[in-house]
Amino acid sequence: MRTIKNAADFQAITESGKPVLLDFYADWCGPCQVLLPTVEKLAEKHADDFIIAKVNVDKYPELAQQFGVRSIPALFFLQNGEVQESLVGVQTETALENKIREYSVTA
């Protein structure tokens, strides 16, 4: 799973041509820590066809602001650099897997 630390990281990911799932989180956020193992597992499983990256809102607040993140965990699905869908709160592995498949098929 990739970690976005600056604008260059974000740009490289969005220009990759692959669909992207951004996970906005914070180390102090309990629900974020609950979701993290699921997101990491999916990142490993879909490494070839999907980019899953995490963004620490405390270390890169500019990107969180750009995406209008108001509560975390916040998940954004992107295609061609454009937000297709966003989810807030802890999500099940099945729900995320279904979304990843949905965006992988149309990529």
Q: Which residues are catalytic?
A: 29, 32
What is the distance between the alpha carbons of residues 41 and 31, in angstroms, rounded to a whole number?
A: 16
Query: Which candidate, 39, 37, 28, 42, places its Cα nearest to that of 72?
Result: 28
Contact, 39 vs 53, CB < 8 A?
A: no
